[in-house]
Amino acid sequence: MKQKLKRLFSAYGNLLGILYQRAPVMVIMTFVAAIVLGLIQTPLTLYVNSHIFNDGLLVAQGEMSFQQYVPVLVLFAAVSLFPILIDRILFLDMWRKDHS
């Protein structure tokens, strides 16, 4: 198992080396984007998910109005769509080729 992992990491290292030689900016941007998206999305997702359930129970018990709950629902939808939108905006247009 340990040998297979070494082989896998070696293959990925070689692949990244080849990609870095041909397009260093793309390799750097990919790593930066992954780190930034992870730093932004993870805490926000944890916050929103905890409030979706907790505040939903408060609304069901009548301790919180639905109008107070709407911003949490909107934030939940935004956080859920965030990775899809970022993927479409940043990466789809980079790889699209003109076929006309």
Would residue 18 count as lying in a domain?
no
Alpha-carbon distance of 37 to 89, in angstroms, equals 13
Short-list 40, 19, 13, 25, CA closest to 94: 25
Alpha-carbon distance of 47 to 72, in angstroms, equals 10
In the chain, % of residues over pLDDT 70 = 89
Q: Which of 3-12, 31-40, 85-94 has the lowest mean pLDDT?
A: 85-94
Would residue 2 count as lying in a domain?
no
Would residue 28 count as lying in a domain?
yes
Would residue 90 count as lying in a domain?
yes
How many domains, the chain? 1
Q: At what angle do helices 2-22 and 24-61 cross, to 10 degrees?
A: 110
Would residue 86 count as lying in a domain?
yes
Write the Ramachandran bin of 62: left for phi over 0, alpha for psi from -120 to 50, otherwise beta: left
Would residue 7 count as lying in a domain?
no
Q: Which domain holds residue 53?
A: 24-95
Q: What average pLDDT does this structure show over 7-17?
A: 87
The structure's pTM equals 0.57
